[in-house]
Amino acid sequence: MGSSVVDNGDRSALLDVETHFKSFIARFGKAYATAEAYAHRLKVFEANLVRAVSHQALDPSAVHGITQFSDLTEEEFKQQFLGLRVPSRLREANKAPVLPTNDLPEDFDWREHGAVTEVKNQGACGSCWAFSTTGAIEGAHFLETGKLISLSEQQLVDCDHSCDPTDKVSCDAGCNGGLMTNAYDYVMKSGGLETETDYPYTGNSNGKCQFNANKIVASVANFSTVSLDEDQIAANLVKHGPLAIGINAVFMQTYIGGVSCPIICSKHHIDHGVLLVGYGAKGYAPIRFTEKPYWIIKNSWGATWGEQGYYKICRGHGMCGMNTMVSTVA
């Protein structure tokens, strides 16, 4: 968890920046090699405190403040912790059929049904797409077999170089980004994925592909893209398991908790692959706001980020483009 620097919009919390910075260094085990590096990161940290105050004003039903990313510039954060390569035109093929939505449960969470592995950590590697992919396949495998197995992201990072058929420049490239639908193509062609234990995560893409087909434990028969309609997304979630989605992560660098429902969040700048695991009818909101229906999203930045590694975002508005790149596997 991080800590809020905002108290009723009072900017006085920003006055003693270095005190906050020293607390941040101690809490997250940060170290800087030189006095120059320390001074530079202090300036970045100060800018991020101002950003957190701004985000709090734009997103008052969530809590924003100091996180483990508060010493990174926006550009550094994007390069190291995002990594979704969005094609110029999204796939039209493999559209999911329309499902009935009249009997959906009011609240649903795949964590309560055993279909979600522990929160993982991609580290400073733009491999979010690989974690989103394995999460969806882990859930589908659980629905099929009743067994929850943690699957290998590193296999995708090392071995998957698939390209989007509609945009040949959108290719999976390890820590330099990728796309979940490309990864499904790879898994179908290669035969499947190994376990996390057999092919452990290293957080870099310098290694050679070590894939061993004899160690495959989960496979993909097909995948579908889900429509923009959020009731259809909910229906697919309940029927098929956790869904891989793309999202605009602009508010996630400063997010601590609550239901994120920013006043402005572009639906077109999708840059992060995550896993949709559930939804709720009534999320926490301050007294002056009505309670909000929300989505529950599993992230891949470790359990110290957000709400034990999870992100809540309001439902029904296509918030931050969460409905534009949704896929399901079987």
Could you tell me the CATH number of the domain that includes residue 38? Answer: 1.10.287
Q: How many domains is the chain built from?
A: 2
Instruction: For residue 207, name the pLDDT band (cuts at 50, 70, 90).
Output: confident
In this structure, are 231 and 187 located in the same domain? yes
Comparing CA positions, the residue from 130, 145, 173 lying closest to residue 273 is: 130
Average pLDDT on 124-153 reads 97
Positive or negative: CA dihedral 92, 96, 102, 107 = negative
**Which pLDDT belongs to residue 167?**
74
Of 71, 102, 117, which residue is a domain's last? 71
**Which pLDDT belongs to residue 168?**
72
Hey, which residues does 276 pair with through a beta bridge? 243, 297
Average pLDDT on 118-129 reads 96
Higher per-residue pLDDT: 15 or 70: 70
Question: In the predicted model, what is the mean pLDDT of the chain?
Answer: 91
In this structure, are 67 and 83 located in the same domain? no
**Which pLDDT belongs to residue 1?**
59
Catalytic residue numbers, as ranges: 128, 272, 299
Mean pLDDT check: name the lowest of 4-8, 128-132, 155-159: 4-8
What one-character-per-residue DSSP string does 251-306 give? TTSSEEEEEE--S---SS---EEEEEEEEEEEE---TTS--EEEEEEE-SB-TTST
Of 71, 99, 128, which residue is a domain's last? 71
Distance of CA 22 to the CA centre of its chain: 28
pLDDT at 72 over 90: yes
In this structure, are 104 and 41 located in the same domain? no
Instruction: For residue 3, name the pLDDT band (cuts at 50, 70, 90).
Output: low
Of 51, 71, 91, which residue is a domain's last? 71
Average pLDDT on 248-255 reads 96
pLDDT at 68 over 80: yes
Share of residues in the chain with pLDDT > 90 (%): 79
Instruction: For residue 14, name the pLDDT band (cuts at 50, 70, 90).
Output: low
Domain that holds residue 135: 79-329
In this structure, are 110 and 131 located in the same domain? yes
